[in-house]
Amino acid sequence: MKRSRYASAATAVVLMTGGPVAVATTAAADPARTVTAAPAAPRADVTAESAAAAALKHYPGVIESLDKDGSVWHVDVISKDGKGHVELEVSASASVTEQDRDTDENAAENKPLVSAKVTAQQAMKAALTAHPGQVTTVEWDDDGTASWHVEVKGKDGRTWDVQVDPTTGKVTRSGSDSDSDSDSDDGDDNN
């Protein structure tokens, strides 16, 4: 009983002089009161392919771009009629958050993307066949000749920039971050 009074008195003094931080330190010093925190659950990183599937489940259409920023994927989707556009974020756990939605897009501007024979998902697959690794970016590029631009973090440690033809699905150009100033090869590189 005497011990309890001393502990209570000591706690009261600590509270008056040290505040909550001191109480936490005092409580942690007592092994009977120490609680071990459960280990943090491992973070489930979503792949580009999974992020694309989650985005399209939320908003059916055609992926215009997909880009990884930390553990979050930013995905732009155009509706199948070309009039709608949505910006989504897909988290590391594959939950989808809508950032912005527009329903009065110019369908004529989006027609080449919407009618492309090769989707973003197929372009990613072609790029990964040429350069195994993980896709970090895929985007529709219609400046000049339309193509898919895919960036792959290769298993070889290099970052590969790959262009995929939207009609045939073939890799038309690729280069890595360690290539010369041209940053690309002139021909098909299926290494």
DSSP string, 49-104: HHHHHHHHHHS-SEEEEEEEETTEEEEEEE-TTSS-EEEEEE-TT--EEEEEEES-
Q: How confident is the model at residue 178 (pLDDT cuts 50, 70, 90)?
A: low
pLDDT at 177: 76
Sequence-ordered list of residues with C-beta below 8 angstroms from that of 77, at least 6 positions apart, any chain: 55, 56, 59, 61, 62, 63, 64, 85, 86, 88
Sequence-ordered list of residues with C-beta below 8 angstroms from that of 185, at least 6 positions apart, any chain: 173, 174, 175, 179
Q: Give this prediction's pTM.
A: 0.70
DSSP string, 29-46: HSTTT--PPPPPPPP-PP
Q: How confident is the model at residue 53 (pLDDT cuts 50, 70, 90)?
A: very high
pLDDT at 144: 83
Give span(s): CATH 3.10.450.40, the chain.
48-176
The lowest-confidence range among 23-27, 46-50, 93-97, 133-137 is 23-27
pLDDT at 174: 79
Domain 48-176 in CATH 3.30.1860.10: no
Per-residue model confidence as pLDDT tens digits over 141-161: 988 889 999 999 998 889 999
